[in-house]
Amino acid sequence: MKTTHAALAEKFIANTAQTDWHDRTLWLVRQKRDKAVHTLPEWEILREWASQIKNHTLSQLSEYLSEFEQKAKANGIVVHWAADAEEHNRIIYKIIRKHNIQNIVKSKSMLTEECQLNKYLEQKGIEVVDTDLGERIVQLRKEPPSHIVLPAIHLKKQEVSETFHRYLKTEKGNHDPQYLTEAARQHLRTKFIESQLAITGVNFAVAETGGFVICTNEGNADMGAHIAAVHIACMGIEKIIPKARHLAVFLRLLARSATGQPITTYSSHFQQPGPGQELHIVIVDNGRSKHLGRKDFRNSLKCIRCAACFNTCPVYRKSGGYSYHSSITGPLGAILNPNTDMKASADLPFASTLCGSCSHVCPVKIDIHEQLWKWRQVIVAEGYVSRKKKTGMKIISFVLSRPSFYRFSGKAGRWIMRTFPFLLKNKLNPWFHSREMPEAPKQSFRDWYLKHKP
Amino acid sequence: MKVALFIPCYIDQFYPQVGIATLQLLKRLGCRVSFPLQQSCCGQPMANSGFATRSKGCDNNFIDNFKHFDYIVAPSGSCVLHIKEHLKSETHPEEAAHIRGTIYELCEFLTDILQVEYIKASFPYKVGWHNSCHGQRGLYLSSMSETVSPEFSKPERLLNMVRGLHLSIPRRKDECCGFGGIFCISEEALSVKMGTDRIKEHELNEVDYISSADVSCLMHIEGILKRNKNNIKTIHIAEILNSKL
Ligand code: SF4
């Protein structure tokens, strides 16, 4: 069976209690975000600045990337370039081999998720411990994250408790969040102490300084990077910002949009390797420059991965991350994934009502819902659409563009509905599955108008 | 003021009373209204399904019908937004631009062009308001909960002029109902779930009616209400503004 968003969503919704809980939990995050942004009268100005800074940067990306590389090297950072996921993984593997590293910790990085780094290293017999609490939970369960900021948001504390009981030997049936968090803390503490390599993501890389910033709430990126002898930071080419002072815009937007906090608990600046340490940066393309070349879609590279568009999206809230069947889920995944694999993601831009909430919540003003609309056009033009739908559209457009034909079929349609309502009230009509058909009036508005015209 | 009435295809066919109310209301407010007889559809069903290239026929027909007016008014935010954003013509670009700039959804026309301050209407019921996304976030019929800007709502302002009407705003005041055009068919289960959840809020508020500026949302909500034998009824804002109960 082909797994489409619609089919997976239907499966998710079948559990109403879980769906409602998922919806409520994420709506709560959205409300926290609302509360936080309403404390800043300048919010819309900040969004506009962030958008412009990113637009500007994307327009001269190669220059800023070179500037960054040069400054980073001067700071003693080893800079690597990776054209795709495969190369990114290979670079990291090489560093691991060179130092004969056994113990690896990794803090949250959607890029390594995108590149399937853990799986790659696993196949080589190397284990990576995810140290973000949510990520560790899903890692133990052998699940992918369902949300880019809250990876385990699809799980209730009871499920976490069962997982921890199984893998961390916590008490069976103890669901107390504080107890469970403490258990995770103790478990991860030993991993940190033993670690020889810390892999992290990058939130912002500053061209003018050659340094970068990592934002976390748990401090796990810092803990890893400070203990391990080697630190590898992985970033997509779009993470660049030109100046350090631009952080003043982005750091204010990021945490408020993500969780409603004024700022993440840790916003850590890395400039150079610590004494006796090695610091690497892997700069990854993996389809981004192709994206940059798509005029209608390039500005999705402005994304700062706050996930506000996930939390606001009613489709996401009520269908869960896994219904997007890809590593980047939600509305963001729906506009990013078709770039790299259009066939596999052909259903995703259609998993939206185009309500537009995402575009207005987005702190960097990405026109998400307009891109969803445009992707639909591209997907149809490239032929990733069923023949049935194509024929259907041909007929509809034929009828609707010919007024007399339209009136005739409308009349015929209404007549059929009135006389034989069961004709349409059948299982083949998805509308009718859980909805009544509109009642068919005797006359159309036009019929009425012709009779009552002054 | 020469005003053309645009009655989107599904309103023409299934909800003629909304067209009638819109026409009567505009006339009462002093507009010279005509209804171009060869109109059909704005082309949105094709475009939103990814077949914008197939809406050329609709575009040309639309331009033929509506090129000679000062204003075009329609009781549907969604269709108006589609025309505003996507009506194109290689042969008649100026006419297309004129139409894009002069087409209005009913509530915005009453508020911004006619600048209505008073409407003689009465509707003694509790009405739950549903903000339709395309009208709200596309045409800015009202402020939205996502952005930091002064609060306003053109439809609410109009409804507050109606005698006896008790307006009820749900807690999630601008959450999508799940209609979404092609979405209501291709994502049937999710679409119905979203609609059901919207209805629940209005039920808690014990409304008599759910109203909106878009018939498509109402058609979807009505379908769910009826299937569940729910007594709440749906009504378009034009019908309320034109009612003398
Ligand atoms: S698209 Fe915008 S709202 Fe969504 S994750 Fe990226 S920055 Fe945040």
Q: What is the pLDDT of residues B71-93, one digit of tens each?
A: 999 999 999 999 999 998 888 99
pLDDT in tens, B88-132: 888 899 999 999 999 999 999 999 999 999 999 999 999 999 999
Which range, of A226-240, A376-390, A402-416, B96-110, averages the lowest pLDDT? A402-416
Using the mean position of ligand 1's atoms as its centre, give its distance from the Cα of residue A365 in Å: 8
Bigger pLDDT: A3 or A310?
A310
What is the pLDDT averaged over residues A392-420? Answer: 68
How far away is chain B from the Cα of A74, in angstroms, using its nearest Cα? 42
CB contact under 8 A, B222 and A447: no
Averaged pLDDT for residues A221-247:
97
Query: What integer is the mean pLDDT of A202-208?
Result: 98
Instruction: Map out the domains of chain A with their CATH numbers.
Output: 1-17+299-385 (no CATH), 40-286 (3.40.50.10420), 394-452 (no CATH)
Residue of A148, A288, A362 to mutate, ligand 1, most atoms within 8 A of C-beta:
A362
Q: What is the reported pLDDT for B54?
A: 77
| Interatomic CA distance for residues B205 and B191, integer angstroms | 22
Q: What is the pLDDT of residue A63?
A: 98
pLDDT digits (tens, 9 = 90+) for A94-110: 999 999 999 999 999 99
Q: What percent of chain A has pLDDT over 70?
A: 92
Tell me whether residues A438 and B193 touch, CB distance under 8 A: no
User: Average pLDDT, whole number, for chain A?
Assistant: 93
> Per-residue confidence at A262, pLDDT binned at 50, 70, 90?
very high
Does ipTM top 0.90? yes
pLDDT at A398: 65
Please answer yes or no on whether B187 and A356 come within 8 Å at the CB atom: no
pLDDT of amino acid B47:
84
- Residue A351 to chain B, least CA–CA distance (Å): 7
Tell me the best of A148, A298, A304 to mutate to test the pocket of ligand 1, counting ligand atoms within 8 Å of each CB and taking the most: A304
Range with lowest mean pLDDT among A49-58, B81-90, B154-163, B233-242: B81-90
Is a pLDDT exceeding 80 seen at residue B185? yes
Cβ of residue A258 lying under 6 Å from some atom of ligand 1 = no
Q: How much is the average pLDDT of A343-354?
A: 95
Span B199-231, pLDDT tens digits: 999 999 999 999 999 999 999 999 999 999 999
Asked if B9 lies within 8 A of A44 by C-beta distance, the reply is no
Summarised one tens digit per residue, pLDDT across range A27-62 is: 999 999 999 999 999 999 999 999 999 999 999 999
A159-192 pLDDT tens trace: 999 999 999 999 999 999 999 999 999 999 999 9
Average pLDDT of the segment spanning B156-184? 96
Mind telling me how many Å the CA of B118 is from chain A's nearest CA? 26
CA distance A10 to B193: 9
Highest mean pLDDT among A326-330, A416-420, B53-57, B112-116: B112-116
- State the closest ligand 1 atom to the C-alpha of A257, by its place in the atom list counted from 1: 8
* Tokens describing residue A201: 């993501």
Fold observed for domain B126-241: Rossmann fold (3.40.50)
Which of B49, B53, B190 to mutate: most A Cβ within 10 Å?
A: B190
3-state SS of chain A?
Answer: CCCCHHHHHHHHHCCHHHHHHHHHHHHHHHHHHHHHHCCCCCHHHHHHHHHHHHHHHHHCHHHHHHHHHHHHHHCCCEEEEECCHHHHHHHHHHHHHHHCCCCEEECCCHHHHHCCHHHHHHHCCCCEEECCHHHHHHHHCCCCCCCCCCCCCCCCHHHHHHHHHHHHCCCCCCCCHHHHHHHHHHHHHHHHHHCCEEEECCCEEECCCCEEEEEECCCHHHHHHHHCCEEEEEEEHHHEECCHHHHHHHHHHHHHHHCCCCCCCEEEEECCCCCCCEEEEEEECCCHHHHHCCCCCHHHHHCCCCCHHHHHCHHHHHHCHHHHCCCCCHHHHHHHHHHHCCCCCCCHHHCCCCCCHHHHHCCCCCCHHHHHHHHHHHHHHCCCCCHHHHHHHHHHHHHHCCHHHHHHHHHHHHHHHHHCHHHHCCCCCHHHHHCCCCCCCCCCHHHHHHHHCC
Q: How many CB pairs lie under 8 A apart between chains A and B?
A: 213
Q: Is B121 helix (H, G, I), strand (E, B) or coil?
A: coil
Domain ranges of chain B: 2-113, 126-241
Whether ligand 1 lies within 6 angstroms of the CB of A338 is answered as no
Cβ A302 vs Cβ A111: under 8 Å = no
pLDDT at A423 > cutoff 70: no
Ligand 1 centroid vs B2 CA: distance in angstroms?
44
Query: How sure is the predictor about A1, in pLDDT bands with cuts at 50, 70 and 90?
Result: very low
Q: Is A158 exposed, middle or buried (0-12, 13-18, 19+ CB in 10 A)?
A: exposed
Provide the pLDDT for residue A204: 98
What does the pLDDT read at residue B222?
96
A439/B181 touch (CB, cutoff 8 Å), yes or no: no
- pTM of the entire structure? 0.94
Asked whether residue A151 carries a pLDDT value surpassing 90, the answer given is yes
pLDDT in tens, A375-399: 999 999 998 887 777 666 666 666 6
CB contact under 8 A, B133 and A356: yes
